[in-house]
Amino acid sequence: MKGLCGALAEADLGRLGSVSWHRRFRAGEAIHVEGEVPPSFCAIVSGVVKLSKSLPNGSQQIVGLFGAGDFLGRPFGGEARATAVAASEVEVCWFPRATIETVTAASGAVKDWLYEQVADELEKAQEWIMLLGRMTAEQKMAVFLLSVMKAAADGKPAPAPAREMVIELPLSRTEIADYLGLTIETVSRQIARLRERHVISAGNTRSVVVHRPDVLTAIVDSTRPPGYPVLVANQVDA
């Protein structure tokens, strides 16, 4: 999270501080564009950023999601191979590319930090490959909800997924679909089904109450027939 500052010598910190500035993006605005050399490296202060790729036929796939504390852009990277778009109102701390590259080149600690950063992202990407390749729509949806819960609970007192929780979805249905590799209709239907089963209930479109996180996790690691009999027996009232 705040590892960058930890990795920086005082002199560098001051140097970076003096050239950085805050910048806001409204939902939908592009931060980096696929095929262009990103002019910056930035830390997300608040909001959610989606990193997406698009196919010639026009369909999109979100390949990564970033929130407060995450970093965008890769020093020495050349052209960005995906587009970064603000999924909500986003505030970033913005560093000119050149400065970051100079500081990085000079500091071993920063290099270490950067390496960690990319390695983590790779790990997440590989998880996602697994998810996209081998999970059903239902499982994908469950993973998504759980990950939003986890993100929301990050740093909160209770580390375990609590017994009940209200979460705000950071993405529209269309974006969720692009994230999970599904269509918007399938996403909608999966949510409806979870609601019918009383696993979640929805107020506003964007906010969801998760009643049974345990059922979500059960769905995620269920063998293909997703344990309906057992789970339904548990939750249907007599």
Partner DNA sequence: CGCGTCATTGAAATACTTCAACGACCGTGG
Partner DNA sequence: CCACGGTCGTTGAAGTATTTCAATGACGCG
**Beta strands, E only, 56-126:** 60-66, 71-72, 83-86, 90-96
Q: Report, in Å, the least distance between residue 233 CB and DNA.
A: 19
Task: List, as one string, the DSSP characters of 22-61.
Answer: EEEE-TT-EEE-TTS--SEEEEEEES-EEEEEE-TTS-EE
Binders of DNA among 148-207, rule CB under 7 A?
A: 172-174, 181-189, 191-192, 202, 205
- Classify residue 32 by burial, with Cβ atoms within 10 Å: 0-12, 13-18, 19+: buried
Nearer Cβ to DNA, position 2 or 224?
224
Q: Report, in Å, the least distance between residue 20 CB and its own copies.
A: 22
* H-helix segments, 135-161: 137-153
Q: Report, in Å, the least distance between residue 8 CB and its own copies.
A: 16
Binders of its own copies among 176-195, rule CB under 8 A?
A: 178, 180-181
Per CB under 8 A, 9 contacts its own copies: no
**Window 55-94: contact mask with its own copies (x via CB under 8 A):** xxxxxxx-xx---------x-xx---xx------------
Token couple for 122: 């790779």
Q: Report, in Å, the least distance between residue 104 CB and DNA.
A: 38
CA gap 33, 94 in Å, rounded:
16
Say which amino acid occupies 98: A
Residue tagged 């692009």 (tokens): 178
Residue ranges in contact with its own copies by CB under 8 A: 51, 53, 55-61, 63-64, 74, 76-77, 81-82, 108, 111-112, 114-116, 118-119, 121-123, 125-130, 132-135, 178, 180-181, 221-224
